Structure 1
Amino acid sequence: MTSYLTTPSGVRLAYEQSGGTGRPVLALHGAFGRGRPFLPLADRLGPGWRVIAPDQRGHGNSDRAGDYGRDAYVEDTAAVIEQLDLAPCVLVGHSLGGVNAFQLAARRPDLVAAFVVLDAPAELPPHSSDWLDTLPATYASLDEMRRVLADRVTIGDPRHFLESAVETDDGWRMRWHPDDIRETKRHIFGEYWADWTASTQPALLVRGGASVIVDADVADRMVAARPDTRLVTVDGGGHDFYLSHREQFHDAVADFLETL
């Protein structure tokens, strides 16, 4: 069941929950994504944990917004934790959500007990989003959307994008707007070493062994630069290993939580 909250900046965010009544895990999806694919993590963690998975601004069932800068995303995450009384919680963030997670841990340590970063680097060079311009606004069918994405998505798993598919009277479309994604991407490119090393909570970095976003050298440097940080590499996994290698992803998170 989808619930909603409104942040202090006036953005309505959708979220879903799964699991028991135990300690909270707040799962933050990446750009183009949605929160709901992270709900099955609760089954692996057991009744001692519950997973809360919001759709971030401009994604899923949440509102579009006028600001897609770093502060806006981090403040949204803080608002979810505060309004749902989750503090201090464990953050699990993929890509965009991973950067949001470690930035919040640095800025608001009172809200974050520990965090897991899924294929999100401390330095992210710009890469082109021009392929967005080649996507149709609507598709005649879900199969057509699947074929187009399989042909044009060069980074990530097409299933990551299909989570945002919705059927309308005019055909199938994405829940996100390309302009919002471009703004999100424009603000996330850069170096975040100061944020990465500014917190002291236990942390886990999980990277895909075949990832083109977090290579082995960057991952090693991230772990070396920050105390109490572990590294797990998902063999054969790409950027969206949370879908393609779900069992390994779930096991990595569960093993880490057992150490807290």
Structure 2
Amino acid sequence: MATAHPVTVRGTDLSYVDFGGPGAPLLALHGHFGRARGLAALAARLAPAHRVIALEQRAHGSAAPVADVRPDAYLADAAAFLTDHLGAGPLPVLGHSMGGSVAYRLAAHHPDLVSRLVVIEGPARNEPPVLDARDWPRRAAGLAELRALLTERVGQVADYFLESAAEHPDGWGLSFDPETLLRSQRALLGDWWPDWLGSACPALLLHGEDSTVLPTAQAREMTARRPDTRLVTFPGRGHWVHDEDPAGVAEAVLAFLRGW
């Protein structure tokens, strides 16, 4: 059974979801605008072989407000969570999008903590544009209305953002601060190739062929340039490939973690 736990990491109040089970632990890291519980469908398919523990990262979900959303802050949080709170490592680390960047940077800067690396749609170079949610609806009368308003903005991936929906005294809204996440995305723009190439553990890169975030040419280059790295591409899928095809993604991840 999935259980949410509060945790203080490097002086910041965060939380994590332990999806439970008898399997070997695996650290999972969501992307921008995501939440730990949003990895539930994937975690269910990785069980019972793997017990997924998903960190809800700074500036997301129920985390305390923070000013520092530089990539190094996310990296330091993940390392501290592993060493100070899980007391585990090395173990497999999986990340989506921004969480994928945190994961491969963790492998590069703390190789003793990462045994295998799974990156879902996490580019080695992040290009504009970023997602500006500052003009998104702040409140709606109900969850159904909020879903409809978000669907007008982002289409079929509205459910990803609705993981951050919460009821407030004046209606339903999203828990993240759009201005903070805009700064966070901008801080991640640029070239992270040295970190992608900076680790030696086996790696799996999962790519949605229709993604607007990770171009197919870059996904192939990332695989070609980094030793012991495999690429699995999903035709007809986009940036949220693990939500679009959780069974297919889980199959690839399980095969990789078994040592293919």
Give the TM-score category using the shorter length: over 0.9
1:119 maps to which of 98, 108, 121 = 121
Give the letter for the 2:164 counterpart. S
TM-score (norm 2): 0.94
Aligned partners of 2:135 and 2:13: how far apart in 1?
A: 30
Query: 1:144 matched to which residue of 2?
Result: 145
Contact 1:207 1:233 in 2 (8 A): yes
1:19 aligns with 2:20: yes
Query: 1:108 matched to which residue of 2?
Result: 110
Give the letter for the 1:47 counterpart. P
Query: 2:96 matched to which residue of 1?
Result: 94
TM-score (norm 1): 0.94
Once the two structures are overlaid, the 10-residue window that deviates more, 16-25 or 117-126, is: 16-25
Deviations 1:166-187 (A, max 9, x none): 1111101111011111111111
- Fraction of identical pairs, as percent: 41
Deviations 1:154-209 (A, max 9, x none): 7x811110111011111011110111111111111111111100100100000101
1:52 Cα deviation from its structure 2 partner: 0.2
Aligned partners of 2:49 and 2:134: how far apart in 1?
A: 45
Once the two structures are overlaid, the 10-residue window that deviates more, 34-43 or 218-227, is: 34-43
Contact 2:41 2:243 in 1 (8 A): no
1:105 Cα deviation from its structure 2 partner: 0.4
Give the letter for the 1:259 counterpart. G
Deviations 1:216-245 (A, max 9, x none): 110110001100000001121111111121
Uncovered stretches (5+) of structure 1, i.e. residues with no partner: none
Query: 2:235 matched to which residue of 1?
Result: 235
Alignment of 1:171-186 (within 5 A): 171-186=171-186
Uncovered stretches (5+) of structure 2, i.e. residues with no partner: none
Query: Structure 2 vs 1, CA of residues 42 and 134 (structure 1 numbering), >3 Å: closer, same or farther?
Result: closer
1:6 aligns with 2:8: yes
Query: 2:64 matched to which residue of 1?
Result: 63
TM-align CA RMSD? 1.5
Aligned partners of 1:117 and 1:79: how far apart in 2?
A: 20
Helix, strand or coil at the partner of 2:179: helix
